[in-house]
Amino acid sequence: TQLLEQSPQFLSIQEGENLTVYCNSSSVFSSLQWYRQEPGEGPVLLVTVVTGGEVKKLKRLTFQFGDARKDSSLHITAAQPGDTGLYLCKYSGGSNYKLTFGKGTLLTVNP
Amino acid sequence: DAGVIQSPRHEVTEMGQEVTLRCKPISGHNSLFWYRQTMMRGLELLIYFNNNVPIDDSGMPEDRFSAKMPNASFSTLKIQPSEPRDSAVYFCASRDRAGGSAFFGQGTRLTVV
């Protein structure tokens, strides 16, 4: 079983600060996805990374896939209260393409 | 498209009662997943259907849990009898192809008292 470790588990910051959250595994990912889950809602896909070393940007969010495809990071610049939520990473792989999530980083951005 | 539709949004029931959660996946999606989310354990995959056939139910906690997908547009997750430790948010998600993106419903918050 490929386990995804996310860190930190909780993060509380002030509006305008920058932050980085991490997703790590001892195994190689075929692809990795980041989701954001807002309170009372289901997770929503933000991005998919496939190639080792890949960097994708989504406005103030920068996603990086490690060269060895074992880890990924999400960096948020100038965080806003609307960024508050649970950030989950997920890999999709294996013979039956199960979806496996990390436990997530709960981010709170205070005004 | 209305997205993945789950019902009810909230369910409060007494221990020992039967609970049925419902899901309507996005039309055209051939994979469906049931998840349970708690603070302690995060998102746990309970069961995965592909083309209405259960592929992997290894995440179903015990015999009290059962899931069906009688057709491509409907699935149920049943707990009988329910216990307080079953209290959680249950999500249904659907996907259009292997390796594609999963789309989640808004979840059913189950409280067993």
pLDDT digits (tens, 9 = 90+) for A87-97: 999 986 655 45
Q: What is the mean pLDDT of chain B?
A: 93
Select from B5, B34, B43, B91 the residue whose CB has the most chain A CBs within 10 Å, as the one to mutate to test that interface: B43
Cβ–Cβ below 8 Å for A97 and B99? yes
Alpha carbon distance B44, B100 (integer Å): 19
Task: Find chain B residues with C-beta within 8 A of A10's C-beta.
Answer: none
Q: What digits encode the pLDDT tens for the residues B70-94? A: 999 999 999 999 999 999 999 999 9
**Residue A8 pLDDT > 50, yes or no?**
yes
Check: CB of residue A48 under 8 Å from CB of residue A37: no
Position with higher pLDDT, A99 vs B61: B61
Tell me how crowded residue B71 is: count the other CB atoms within 10 A of its CB: 8
Q: What digits encode the pLDDT tens for the residues A49-66? A: 888 899 999 999 999 999
B6: left (phi over 0), alpha (psi -120 to 50) or beta: beta
Phi, psi of A40 (to 5 degrees): 80, 5
**Residue A42 pLDDT > 90, yes or no?**
yes
Check: CB of residue B44 under 8 Å from CB of residue B59: yes
**Residue B1 pLDDT > 80, yes or no?**
no
Q: What digits encode the pLDDT tens for the residues B42-57? A: 899 999 999 999 998 9
At B37, list the tokens: 């989310």
Distances (CA, A) of B62 to A47, A54, A99, B16: 34, 41, 21, 15
